[in-house]
Structure 1
Amino acid sequence: TTISFPSQAHGQVSLTDVAASPTGLLYASDQTANSIYRITPSDNHRVDLLIHDDRLAGPAGIAIHPKTNHLIAVSWEKGKILEITPDGQLSELEANGFFTSRFQNLSGVDFDQWGNMYVSDFTKGKIWRMTRDHRFQVIAEYLPAPADIGIDRANNLILVPYHYMHAAEMNGLETPSGGKPKDGKRTLADYGFIPPPPKPGQEGTKK
């Protein structure tokens, strides 16, 4: 199915990312026009303008928050993390402070199965994790232009595409320490790596 987007007075449509909600709605970000569209597949893929606001500051990656079902967008121009309600109300979750510049050009955003948020900074070459209590951790850095990111929640993996290299990398995500007993040793499964099943023994092999 091809979806056509109406021309807007504020500029040409330039779609950057798409996200699907649990209710079946789709959302698409328009980075150039500071806009986000809502698509209703059940109504002949009707396209509505959810929000047009300069405070979006170049919305790049978008994702659905797994707890609130609100739309989360990251800003390319201002390094902001924004939240948009289903009726288009905008609020700021995180932004650079007056004396700090944690983010530069945010490109991708997604969530793991525990509700932690991950964002990619294209220019600084970093992947940040924001925990549910709003603590930030750099989980990877010195990356060559990480673009949009995706999380495989079932297998606890993160996919990071590299814009200029035309390549991507997949890595395991760390399981929160609260999910294991204090005396339990970490294994590769805590980082998303599941060992293959043992190979069956060959017939006639002596035991």
Structure 2
Amino acid sequence: MVGAPFTPGPSDTAPLGAVGARPPGPPPAPARDTRALLLKGAGLVAIAVVSGLLWFLIRHEDKPEPVAQPPANAGEFAFAIAEGPIKSTDCVAKSYNQTQKLFQETPCVSLSRALFTTETGGAKALVSVALVTMPDAASAARLKALTEKDGTGNVTDLVKDGTYKAPGAPRVSAEKAAFASKAEGTEVTIVLADFFAQHKDAPLLKRIATDAVRLAAEIRK
């Protein structure tokens, strides 16, 4: 029997895809240029190294050395302790003449006494330093004013009371001795100074006594 004529259907006539064709979708990313990336990375590292080196140099550039400052209590002369400090609260027993009477009327709070020596230009001086603490600033001012007058007595120094017995020690309470004093608040510093070996230089001795006022800080401790 003769069959019916063949009629191709849609599925039979669909064109075949090209062999090896890429499926539809976004195009692939281009291949990386490894050499260019390496060069770029090396450049960034070099920049970082140079920047770090510059920063180091800026932070550590040469700076002038700080100048050493002298101690706060430094002065013109160098003093060495010779005796003391000896402390007391009985200023009446450690004073004489009108100064003693002042202490009888207004007892001191404390007294510290010491002796120092200093040498300059071949001359050696003995220096007495007394630090008196009074009950108030007004009585301290009275004590300073009284001891600045001639013939009114003073706090007894460690040579006068026999504590210091070094051979040839000058009598710092003698009239030819240099005097200096300072009142600050309730404290009064009294300085007497004279040369060993009968040396004479009144202007120099006055400078020594004036400079020795700062030694109150040494005997306050």
More helix, by proportion: 2
More strand, by proportion: 1
Relative contact order (alpha carbons < 8 A, sep ≥ 6): 1 or 2 greater?
A: 2
TM-score (norm 1): 0.27
Between structure 1 and structure 2, the one with the greater Rg is 2
TM-score (norm 2): 0.26
